[in-house]
Structure 1
Amino acid sequence: MNTTYSNDQISSWTSEQLLRLGIPEQTAIYINILVLMAVTALLVYLADFLSRKILVGSLHKFAAKSSTKVVEFLVRNKVIVYLARIAPLLLVVEAIPIVFADFPTWISPLLKLTDIYLILLWMWVARAVLRTCKDFLKTTETFKEKPVESFLQVITIFLYFIVGLLIFSTLTGKDAWTFITAMGAASAILMLVFKDTIMGFVASIQVSSNDMVRIGDWVTMDKYGADGAVTEINLTTVKVQNFDKTITTIPTYYLISDSFKNWRGMQASGGRRIKRSVYIKISSIRYLAAAEVAKLSKIQLLKSYLEERQSEINRYNQENGIDKSLLINGRSLTNVGVFRKYIDAYIKQHPGTHKDMIMMVRQLEPTTTGMPIELYLFANSIVWVEYESIMADIFDHLLAAVRYFDLEVFEMPAADDVRSLHFSPAATAGMRSPLPEAMQN
């Protein structure tokens, strides 16, 4: 009652001053409102300016004592801006009954608008604080690679829900539980509307708790054309920047419902697998005579192996009285077997291979394109460019070394190969033309 009296007294005093100047009463009422609004606007501006100065000064004092980037994040996310608006808003709330004392029916609706604005203002402050927490957590080792955005979005959704309840209660004057009760009947519809959000929330928790994906992981998901590094994990989507710089967006839920490949284990191991074959033409595979073995012994990587192996074979053949006039009798070295041993020795001494991981050269089942000699090993670099260079260097050498073992690499005939074929007249004379005689003439 005292506040109302004081408000009426202030408004009446300004009206009396206008009436003394000879201004008509009706006109004086509106001029009085304009004057009071102008004074209020000036006071609000000063309050906003002073509140910002005080908050900024306090934050600078806090920054001087703290070694973290919290202050920088608070400024970046406009926490100071939103907090500074609270003092001017409270001033407006106090000024409304004074400014509109001559129009009492306007006071209640305007105060409701200020109450709604205050609710929204606190929501903006809370959201800015959440973003500040997210930015700060990303600077820590524990949460650097965690999907913090997902949990932030969940909290934000609950925050919006609470704000909606408060605004509903302010506008209708009813208790918030009334609105919650009404929503209970429409829960099935809400579940349908927020289905993706709920599924994404559950998926985010599983992805985080099981450590399935981190920001920065290289993932491959062929179904969605994703092959690159994870840049963002939020409530509903996971963003992957592919190696061609395109962005693939995958629903978070599909990370637990579909299959994908995470290359984190390879990156952590320090070695990247090389699995590639050299296809040998089967007709070029044969036994090696003693003179040929002696010639191949000049290859440094094979010298000790061939000497030891050939001595073992000769001893076996002599002890068993093997007739070596035919190489198929007894035991003999083959050119492809020696080549396989050469590959094994070569990759073990190559500077680009990982010596602490498996290295294997194996013969696979012959196919229509030859007999595959597969190399299974790991490069000692996970950097893509270096990995490709190491693999190319190994196979460049092996493809050039094949001819020293009198072997051929299988390749499909090209057009030049067909054109280079020459048939003698005697060979072509007996060949019957596929065309009818009428067409031959």
Structure 2
Amino acid sequence: MSGLECKLFDYLIENGFSESWAQTLNMLGLLLVLLIILFIVDYITRKILVSAFSQFALVSKSNFDDLLVANKVPRNVAHIIPLLIAIRFVPEIFIDFPNFEDVFERGLQVFAIILILWIVRSSLNALKDYLKTLPHFKDKPIDSYIQVFMIFSWIGGIMSAIAIITGIEFIKFVTGLGAISAVIILVFKDTIMGFVASIQVSINDMVRIGDWITFEKYGADGDVIEINLATVKVQNFDKTITTIPTYALISDSFKNWRGMTNSEGRRIKRALYIKQTGVKYLTDTEVEKLKSIHLLTAYLESRQADINTYNNTNSVDKNLLLNGRNLSNLGVFRKYIDTYLKQHSAVNKDMMIMARQLAPTTQGIPLEIYAFSSDKRWENYEYIMSDIFDHLIAALPYFDLEIFELPSQGSFKHNS
């Protein structure tokens, strides 16, 4: 370009321009020519690189190259050649304007730093997207690590750019930052806490993308859809999004349902509250009547035989039902629940099945069902649990038992 520079300058002098005007117009003309060349070179280089990557992606078995194109890595790399051309010819264009030359050279150096950061960011985004397609990495907090690396990269880039603009050596500039390190730590407190939390969450395998978690403090109850440096995003079952600080997973308590999801069943734990006044011993006539319930026939015959043997052996006076051993309607109903659950097709027989009586309360005697449904899907789980309790509530009158419930206004009207 030096030959073009001389010809343009000589042409302006020959046409009566002063030397200063000739130098200025010569510089502006050469700068315009350089900008046009840079635009053309950038356009051609970008087209060639993008086309080459796209063609390679078509024949490649891996999808990593497709992700490089999608994240604009070739487009960003293409800017390197025009930048090198600009760095090469700027000194010649501004040879008569050393102050402008210094400004433009520093500007190009700053742009080079920004371009490097663009390339690094787009490459890391492509790597992040690729890792998420792999089974071993798709549930890991890759976003957090990418963000941490980019934060330090941007900090280093910004400090380098400031050092270039101010003319201070980078080492001296970084050393000077020690005086304000406390302020920097305060500003980036959440980022630092999030970084530490992300590492702990990943190492301890506390949360993965796709896990169902319940975090009552933040009103979260749904699936984890994103884990990054500062936040964890949870899509609740009503399709709303709850954002939780990453460090809250370490400092607060939450429930992860992964153990249930990976198990062989989903727990059913619910109680029927039985009126205490309805509990009674069963007479022989009532026991005979309950034998017609198929699930209890064998149990009642065996149990009644054992009780009669004990009472006869110990000469128990059965004129008073309290004496000796007896069957109660609540105990028989509890056995019925246990037998019913063990033959229910939707209950997992390999996991715990139990009908237990809890301590009496002011609302009655809690009779709790503890079992696991074979189907863990939410809608099917709710259907199975409802089906079980529909049956048990309807079965209660056959045992002369009632569920406790607070009286309503209609109850008082009926009594009156």
What is the TM-score normalised by the length of structure 1?
Answer: 0.89
Q: How does 1:34-433 map to 2 (within 5 A)?
A: 34-60=28-54, 62-64=56-58, 66-422=60-416
Deviation (angstroms), 1:244: 2.0
CA distance in 1: counterparts of 2:334 and 2:240, whole angstroms: 42
3-state secondary structure, aligned to 1:420: helix
3-state secondary structure, aligned to 1:214: coil
Deviation (angstroms), 1:61: 5.1
CA distance in 2: counterparts of 1:414 and 1:159, whole angstroms: 67
Does the Cα contact within 8 Å between 1:11 and 1:101 map onto a contact in 2? no
Does the Cα contact within 8 Å between 2:49 and 2:75 map onto a contact in 1? no
What is the TM-score normalised by the length of structure 2?
Answer: 0.94
Amino acid paired to 1:364: L
Deviation (angstroms), 1:303: 1.0
3-state secondary structure, aligned to 2:209: coil
3-state secondary structure, aligned to 2:108: helix
CA distance in 2: counterparts of 1:38 and 1:378, whole angstroms: 77
Deviation (angstroms), 1:261: 1.0
Paired position in structure 2 for 1:428: none
Deviation (angstroms), 1:27: 5.9
Deviation (angstroms), 1:16: 2.9
Q: CA RMSD in A?
A: 1.9
CA distance in 2: counterparts of 1:342 and 1:222, whole angstroms: 37
Amino acid paired to 2:79: R
Q: List runs of 5+ in structure 2 lacking aligned partners.
A: none
Q: Sequence identity of aligned pairs in percent? A: 51
* Runs of 4+ displaced beyond 4 Å: 25-31
Q: List runs of 5+ in structure 1 lacking aligned partners.
A: 1-5, 423-441
Paired position in structure 2 for 1:436: none
CA distance in 1: counterparts of 2:269 and 2:299, whole angstroms: 25
Deviation (angstroms), 1:305: 0.8
CA distance in 2: counterparts of 1:44 and 1:308, whole angstroms: 98
**Are residues 330 and 263 of structure 1, via their aligned partners in 2, closer, same or farther at CA, if it must alter by over 3 Å?**
same
CA deviations on 1:373-403 (whole Å, 9 max, x unpaired) are 1111111122111111111100000000011
Amino acid paired to 1:260: F
The structure having more radius of gyration, on CA atoms, is 1
CA deviations on 1:274-327 (whole Å, 9 max, x unpaired) are 111111111111111212211111111111111111111122222222222222
CA distance in 2: counterparts of 1:108 and 1:180, whole angstroms: 23
